[in-house]
Amino acid sequence: MWCTFLLVLPLILLGFMTHKAGGFGPLVNAPSRFSSRSVYLHFFFLALTDMVGNWATLSLDIPDFTRFAARKSFRSSFRASACPSR
């Protein structure tokens, strides 16, 4: 159930953005809003650190989330859906 939601929602949002922008071309050809490369890199590494921290915390907490699962298959399915990069 959640896997379907997590796969379909980004596609819906991409379709909405494409429609609001007047096509896919304006999304790709839009100029950057960063004033310089150093400003971009600063933002990029902050965002990267945030994402790594979130995924690391989630992957360490998976045993706590699945400890009281009724069946072992629930554990496996949760791990597969929570950490798609594994």
**Does residue 84 or residue 4 have the better pLDDT?**
4
Give tens-digit pLDDT for 10-42: 999 999 999 999 998 988 898 888 999 999 999
Are the C-beta atoms of 59 and 84 separated by less than 8 Å? no
Q: How many CA atoms lie within 13 A of 56 on its CB side?
A: 6
Task: Give mean pLDDT, residues 28-57.
Answer: 90
